[in-house]
């Protein structure tokens, strides 16, 4: 226990994070428009036990404080180790006009005090603002939108977020450029608006077959919504410019 206590005592200074705190206007957006799609996907793929443990740890965690957080007894060790070892987080960001992709885990380290039958976890201080936004945005959102816990595709998660907001309208037209942003496939730009990374799936056929069709199919199969493409607008050069979606809640018999 002496070694464990020595870890608890110092106030370790966290390295300066390169993740930018979202602007105030962004905090009013839906979770799907704020948090990276791959982070959402990883969160909703957690089992109930894993998600509850993560929620418990993040509720106790405090911004700027990096001592271990107690999550329970040894009976929670297996679940805790899965959070550290199984679920990878992929975080894309812009640093000095370069696109940087970081690969990390929900839990940075697990500490076990066998004498006291207690398990503790730590979070990476580099991504502390991400942990803060997960705590703010996803806990309540997951509870109020149980259908999202069934979705596994990152495009399905983002399309569901968008469609859920427009279900009352019944139909919704959206430009292809905006739809690419909804699905997280837009160009990555620096603070001055210069493109530093082209958007994935730039060709319409690939975008349609690899992103849009699977997302619609998964939403229709696993959630309370029924989505379909009503029409596709094209320019005089046959380039797709916009789409119209039909968005309806399923009837009770269809669920």
114, two tokens: 């066998």
**Is 237:245 a contact under the CB 8 Å cutoff?**
no
**Is 104:83 a contact under the CB 8 Å cutoff?**
no
pLDDT in tens, 98-127: 878 888 899 999 999 999 999 999 999 999
- DSSP lists the bridge partners of residue 171 as 246
Nearest to 157 by CA among 10, 37, 17: 37
Alpha carbon 9 to its chain centroid, in Å, reads 33
* Mean pLDDT in residue range 158-169: 90
Three-class secondary structure of residue 112 per DSSP: strand
CATH number of 155-254: 1.10.10.10
Distance CA 150, CA 154 (A): 12
- Whether the per-residue pLDDT at 149 is higher than 70: the answer is no
Distance CA 178, CA 175 (A): 5
- More confident position, 66 or 69: 69
Look-up of token digits 């911004």: 63
Domain boundaries, the chain: 2-144, 155-254
HSE-CB for 237 with a 13 A CA cutoff? 2
pLDDT the model gives residue 215: 95
Beta strands per DSSP E along the chain: 69-72, 88-95, 98-105, 109-113, 118-122, 171-175, 188-189, 195-197, 225-234, 240-249
pLDDT the model gives residue 148: 62
- Whether the per-residue pLDDT at 2 is higher than 50: the answer is no
pTM, entire model: 0.56
- Whether the per-residue pLDDT at 130 is higher than 70: the answer is yes
Nearest to 96 by CA among 20, 198, 23: 20
The CATH number of domain 2-144, selected from 1.10.10, 2.40.50, 1.10.3470, 4.10.1110: 1.10.10
């Amino acid at each position: 226990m002496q070694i464990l206590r020595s870890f608890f005592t110092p106030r370790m200074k966290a390295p300066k994070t390169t993740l930018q705190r979202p602007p105030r206007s962004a905090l009013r957006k839906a979770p799907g428009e704020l948090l990276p799609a791959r982070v959402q996907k990883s969160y909703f793929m957690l089992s109930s036990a894993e998600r509850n443990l993560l929620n418990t740890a993040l509720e106790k965690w405090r911004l700027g404080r990096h001592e271990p957080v107690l999550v329970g007894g040894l009976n929670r060790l297996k679940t805790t180790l899965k959070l550290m070892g199984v679920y990878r987080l992929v975080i894309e960001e812009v640093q000095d006009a370069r696109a940087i992709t970081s690969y990390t885990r929900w839990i940075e380290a697990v500490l076990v005090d066998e004498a006291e039958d207690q398990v503790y976890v730590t979070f990476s201080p580099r991504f502390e603002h991400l942990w803060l936004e997960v705590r703010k945005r996803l806990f309540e959102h997951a509870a109020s939108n149980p259908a999202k816990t069934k979705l596994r595709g990152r495009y399905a998660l983002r399309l569901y977020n968008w469609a859920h907001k427009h279900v009352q309208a019944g139909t919704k037209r959206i430009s292809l450029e905006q739809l690419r942003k909804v699905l997280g496939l837009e160009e990555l730009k620096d603070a001055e608006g210069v493109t530093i990374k082209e958007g994935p799936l730039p060709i319409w056929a690939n975008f349609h077959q690899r992103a849009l069709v699977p997302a619609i199919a998964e939403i229709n199969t696993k959630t309370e919504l029924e989505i379909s493409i009503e029409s596709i607008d094209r320019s005089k050069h046959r380039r797709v410019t916009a789409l119209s979606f039909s968005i309806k809640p399923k009837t009770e018999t269809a669920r």
